[in-house]
């Protein structure tokens, strides 16, 4: 490969080539597959040297340019989300402030005493012993429940 093209490709990748040089390079690249391979090798070298330069900077300073991609978390909520939350909070405050008036005006309050009484009745019914299928004397444990007989 002619030294001339090494020079021209490098001038092009540095952004130094004139309009005439760029046109000549384009014409030569369109015709010559070997020259295209050289051009692509130089472009690859350019990218690799960029990465090496960056790595050297990171090693020196401990900092560098890193591509970051945001994680898909709650941070991705729309930016107007805080305003919606604030509005909802205000609306809730207003509703709570109005609630006592409604409670005083309501005629359909449940009768708490009746509910308590009904509940107590239900509990009392549940606490009744279930009817036995056998007479008391047939129970093997009935004698244990009888008061002890003290011999006279």
- Quote the CA–CA distance of 137 and 110 in Å, as a whole number: 49
Number of residues that bind other proteins (CB under 8 A): 42
CB 41 to other proteins: min, Å: 6
Three-state secondary structure of the chain: CCHHHHHHHHHHHCCCCCHHHHHHHHHHHHHCHHHHHHHHHHHHHHHHHHHHHHHHHHHHHCCCCCCCCCCCCHHHCCCCHHHHHHHHHHHHHHHHHHHHHHHHHCCCCCCHHHHHHHHHHHHHHHCCCCCCCCCHHHCCCHHHHCCCCCCC
The interface region with other proteins, picked from 70-78, 82-90, 105-113, 124-132 by CB under 8 A, is: 70-78
Of the candidate residues 63, 73, 104, 106, the single one contacting other proteins (CB under 8 A): 73
Of the candidate residues 24, 34, 39, 122, the single one contacting other proteins (CB under 8 A): 39
* Binding to other proteins in span 44-63, by CB under 8 A: 44-54, 56-57
Of the candidate residues 72, 78, 110, 151, the single one contacting other proteins (CB under 8 A): 72
CB 81 to other proteins: min, Å: 17
Q: Which residues bind other proteins (CB under 8 A)?
A: 6-7, 10, 12-17, 19, 22-23, 26, 29-30, 33, 36-37, 39-54, 56-57, 65, 67, 69, 71-73
């Amino acid at each position: 490969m002619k030294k001339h093209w090494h020079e021209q490709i490098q001038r092009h990748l540095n952004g130094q080539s004139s309009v005439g040089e760029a046109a000549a390079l384009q014409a030569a690249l369109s015709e010559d597959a070997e020259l295209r391979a050289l051009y692509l090798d130089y472009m690859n070298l350019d990218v690799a040297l960029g990465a090496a330069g960056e790595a050297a900077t990171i090693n020196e300073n401990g900092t560098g340019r890193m591509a970051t991609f945001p994680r898909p978390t709650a941070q991705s909520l729309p930016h107007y989300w805080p305003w919606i939350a604030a509005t909802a909070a205000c609306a809730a405050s207003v509703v709570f402030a109005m609630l006592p008036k409604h409670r005083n005006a309501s005629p359909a309050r449940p009768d708490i005493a009746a509910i308590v009484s009904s509940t107590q009745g239900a509990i009392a019914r549940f606490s009744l012993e279930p009817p036995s299928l056998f007479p008391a004397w047939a129970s093997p444990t009935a004698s244990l429940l009888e008061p002890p007989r003290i011999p006279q």
